[in-house]
Structures are given as structure tokens and as C-alpha cells.
Amino acid sequence: MCGRFTSVTPPDVLAEIFGASAEASDTPFAPNYNVAPTTRILAVAHDSANQRRLGRFSWGLVPGWAKDRSGAARLINARSETVFEKPSFRPSIPGRRCLIPMDGFYEWRTVYPGARAAKAPKEPVYVTRSDGNPLAIAGLWATWKSDDGSTLRTCCVITTAANGVMSPIHDRMPVIVEPDDWSDWLDRDLSDRDRLGEIMVPAAESVLTFVDVSTRVNSIRNNSPDLIEPIERSSDHL
């Protein structure tokens, strides 16, 4: 599961990291400490000439065949195990894959006040790379045309089973693509299921670290650097 993340690194720096050309944008970049679904986000994808470009996509996939864009908020994540079969994702996986840069992402850990409760409260943690570099998250993209002829470019995050670091927090995690796999993942001419499956696996346990953070992140109205500041939390109920 991935439903909230941070986007702090400027586009020019990301373009250099990913070896991509940055598309021009009429929207000035501003650090976002609480990126929510349907937000316009940065992603790296290959253009029609198979060259890397960093551009803006709306988070929440709208397949080209959709009647409208109302389902975008429900398609922010795609399960790696079913991307080749699900109608919403199947058209994108062969040649419309992207990398979504994140400085970190939030996940919510269930609080255990004794026995597990069906609606137990949850507490947020902030997950980053152990080496301090931005995360390169596997994604899919699509284009959708409205009745007035305008085009909307959208994307979603691919998730996989949690690794040992994430499993105490959640049973799913985003697919993290390491630099050695970026070329294959972005290559629009590569559609081999076995090779793509090798990439869509849980990250090595040494890749990630996390800290407890304030429940202020629960509200998308809050968007400031203090959201990612570590806090002390009692371990009595965990």
C-alpha cells in the first residue's frame, strides 16, 4: 500500500539523478510533505523515442478506455501479482512503465491495545532509503482524452509483498527499483514478463529505514517539514 508520500527534491536535481530531460512546466515546483492521491506528481518515463523524460502526471491511473476520470482515486496502486491480468493495468505494463521519485513515503501501523481489533487505531511512520537518496518507485502510466479533446496523463504505484523491515507495519510495500534496473524498467520495447517480474520484488531489507512521525500527517491540510520529524512514541501498545 502506498497512499501518501513526500516530494522535496527539485526537478532539476531529479533529472540529473535519473539521467532524464526535464519537461517544461508552467507550475513552479514547491516541496510537498504530504502528497495525496490525484495530486500532480513528478515521474520519469520514456518518450516515443525511448528517451528518459521527467514530467508531471496525475497520481491515480485513468485507463485510456475509461468513460471519465472519476475512478482515479481508486487506482493509485497496482499489485505486482496482477498487473498483467487486470484490465485497468494490462495495457500499460508492456510499454508504459515509469519511475516515481519519492523522498519518502508514509505508512500506518496498527496499534495493538491487547488483542487485534478490526478497527484498531493506526499510527504513522515515515519510510526512506537508508542511504538518503530518493526512492525510485515502479509505476505505470496512461493517457486519457476527455470529450473536449484535452489529454490527461496519469500514473499509479506498483506494490509488492512487504519485506522484513516493512512487514511489522504493513503487508504491502511499493516496488523499489534500483539504478541497475532503471533502463530495463523504462524501456518501452521490453515486455518480457520474466524480466519485469524480477524487478517487481520486495526490496532488500538493508534498503529501507523508518521513523515514527506525528499523526498530523493524517490530514492532507497539513503540509510542512515538521511532518517528517521523528517523534518518541510509547512502545507499550505495539
* Tens-digit pLDDT profile for residues 91-128: 999 999 999 999 999 999 987 645 455 567 889 999 99
Model's pTM, two decimal places? 0.93
pLDDT reported for residue 115:
44
238 within domain boundaries: no
Tell whether 236 is covered by a domain.
no
156 exposure class (CB count in 10 Å sphere: 0-12, 13-18, 19+)? buried
Domains identified in the chain, total number? 1
Confidence class for position 2, pLDDT limits 50, 70, 90? confident
Domain carrying residue 120: 5-227
Would you call 98 a catalytic residue per the annotation?
no
232 inside domain: no
Q: Beta-strand (E) ranges in 64-150? A: 77-79, 97-102, 104-110, 122-129, 135-145
Q: What per-residue confidence (pLDDT) applies to 118?
A: 57
pLDDT at 72: 65
DSSP 67-78: SSSTTGGG-SEE
Q: How far apart are CA 189 and CA 172, in angstroms?
A: 29
CATH of the domain at 91: 3.90.1680.10
pLDDT at 94: 95
Rg of the Cα trace of the chain?
A: 18
Q: How do residues 127-149 score in pLDDT, each as one tens digit? A: 999 999 999 999 999 999 887 87
**Arithmetic mean of pLDDT over the chain:** 92
Which of 23, 98, 107, 198 is catalytic? The answer is: 107
Q: 82 lies in a domain?
A: yes
Q: Which residues contact 127 (CB under 8 A, 6 or more apart)?
A: 104, 105, 106, 107, 166, 208, 209, 210
Could you count the other beta carbons within 10 Å of the beta carbon of residue 99? 27
Q: The C-alpha cell of 184 is what?
A: 530495463
Residue-wise pLDDT tens digits, 51-103: 999 999 999 999 988 888 777 678 999 999 999 999 999 999 999 999 999 99
Q: How far is CA 111 from CA 20, 99, 164, in A?
A: 42, 32, 19
Within a domain: 237: no
Asked if residue 235 is part of any domain, the answer here is no
Residue-wise pLDDT tens digits, 142-197 = 999 887 878 899 999 999 999 999 999 999 999 999 999 999 999 999 999 999 99
SS3 114: coil
**How buried is 24 (Cβ within 10 angstroms: 0-12 exposed, 13-18 middle, 19+ buried)?**
exposed
Check if 107 is active-site. yes
